[in-house]
Amino acid sequence: MDSFNTRRVIISHNMEIAFLTNYFPKISETFIINQVIGLLERGHSVQIFALESPDEDVTHEVIDEYDLLERTTYFPSPENYFHGLSRVGQLIVNYPASISQVLPSFRRGVEGGVRLSTLYQFKKFDCGGFDVYHAHFGQVGKRWDFLPDETDAPYVVSFYGKDASVDLSERPETYEHTFNVTDCVTVLSEDMREDVVGSGCPAEKTTIQPLPVDLNQFSYSPTNPAKTEPTRILTVARFTEKKGLDDALEAIDSVAGTHDITWTIAGGGPLRDTFETEIQERGLETTVEMLGWVTQERINELLHDAHLFILPSKTSSEGDKEGTPTVLLEAQAAGVPVLSTYHAGIPEIVRDGETGILVPESDPEKLTNALDRFLSTPETWTEMARNGREFVEENHSKQVVAEQLEELYLKQLNS
């Protein structure tokens, strides 16, 4: 017991942390990248375990700057059913003490097979020496929930959006074991906490952990209105229903006849082609520009030139909700006022009337009115920009969030 307590004192200064996720490095998940970098900068060691590397054409420069791929180990899922069975067989033969995990996992179907495959690789590569294991996304938390049986280290699971709305609400019973064994469940907002607790997670295990923004990447440079130039509106988002881009397009179309504006959209996704067709049918090709996916560095340039960031998120037809969209924090960090909605955790990161404007979700008319009001009152932009930057500095900087994560881990280690 004494040696265990001594160990805890030592690791309070320098922890060995395992980050568990699906894909890494994913261009849309800068919040995970910034958590890793923030902890590294505080002197901790972080190793990332992911299913695979995403098939993406662009990556962020910080991946190379911090050698994050050197810190990443990939545990791919079985290639097929027989490959999965082979891994289960090797698990039983080589690690017979783990046989108690087999039957409960088979009851989970395909998910259970992936869980056993992960357990086999965990043992094969001897990954049990970390001080903290932190699973990012609920599905990842389920896949790794054998950890409390394999190590005394704290096990933390973080929810971020769809995992807390669609997946959890549709199949809460599949999370029962995960919630029982995890030490802490982090969420992004009170709205998300209600979803998670309502699906069976003990309230006392939950805590709100904000998303980080690397302020060094976003110089504060509010764009002053110029009478000789169009007002530049920006969106960075995946083309999915919950992003509300259809409502934004209707609002843009409604004000384009009375205001000199441009709207630039960076991102890709399943609804991109449909959206492009809608733009053509409305005759807005000269107003709306679609860039596809771009690097973080290019996003920074776009924010530098933007007057307004618009993201009217809403609950999708399948129940998918946002968490607290990182892009709204990045826009405010760059000094760009935000037009968004009273949706999910957004009211906790955008102050209506102070750092931006919020309207009810799925209400194109009120969104149009708010956009028209913003475009008609450029004298309010500078104060909104300043307030937004201050809010992010105080609550969401990479350094602030890394310190909060460190405190969270130490609390679990010493509980």
Give, rounded to a whole angstrom, the gap between the first and last alpha carbons of the chain. Answer: 14
**Burial of 267 by CB count in 10 Å (0-12 exposed, 13-18 middle, 19+ buried)?**
buried
Residues 370, 236 share a domain: yes
CATH number at residue 346: 3.40.50.2000
Amino acid 9: pLDDT: 44
Residue 100, domain member (yes or no): no
- The whole-angstrom distance between residue 10's C-alpha and the CA centroid of its chain comes to 31
Residues 146, 7 share a domain: yes
Report whether pLDDT(8) > 70: no
Q: How many of the other CB atoms lie within 10 Å of CB of 80?
A: 9
Residue 67, domain member (yes or no): yes
Residues 220, 193 share a domain: no
Each residue's pLDDT tens digit, 102-139: 667 666 777 877 888 899 899 988 999 999 999 999 99
Residues 165, 27 share a domain: yes
Residue 345, domain member (yes or no): yes
* More confident: 150 or 59: 150
Residues 134, 12 share a domain: yes
Residue 103, domain member (yes or no): no
Residues 279, 156 share a domain: no
Q: What is the dihedral of CA 34, 312, 294, 401, to 10 degrees?
A: -10
Number of domains in the chain: 2
Indicate the pLDDT class of residue 93, thresholds 50, 70 and 90. confident
Residue 219, domain member (yes or no): yes
pTM across the whole model: 0.90
Amino acid 10: pLDDT: 43
Q: Is the dihedral of CA 202, 204, 210, 212 positive or negative?
A: negative
Q: Could you give the angle at the alpha carbon of 34 between the alpha carbons of 28 and 36, nearest 5°?
A: 115
Amino acid 13: pLDDT: 66
Rounded Cα distance between 170 and 269, Å, is 23
Residues 277, 245 share a domain: yes
Indicate the pLDDT class of residue 159, thresholds 50, 70 and 90. very high
Residue 83, domain member (yes or no): no
Indicate the pLDDT class of residue 81, thresholds 50, 70 and 90. low
Amino acid 106: pLDDT: 66
E strand or H helix at 292: strand 288-292
Rounded Cα distance between 198 and 215, Å, is 35
Residues 245, 155 share a domain: no
Residues 270, 313 share a domain: yes
Range(s) of the domain holding residue 171: 2-74+128-212+397-413
Rounded Cα distance between 66 and 87, Å, is 33
Each residue's pLDDT tens digit, 344-400: 999 999 999 999 999 999 999 999 999 999 999 999 999 999 999 999 999 999 999
Residue 80, domain member (yes or no): no
- DSSP per residue, 179-203: HHH-SEEEESSHHHHHHHHHTT--G
Residues 235, 142 share a domain: no
- The whole-angstrom distance between residue 77's C-alpha and the CA centroid of its chain comes to 22
Residues 23, 9 share a domain: yes
Residues 320, 173 share a domain: no
Mean pLDDT of 272-296: 96
Residue among 264, 272, 325, 274 nearest 299 (CA): 264
Residue 113, domain member (yes or no): no
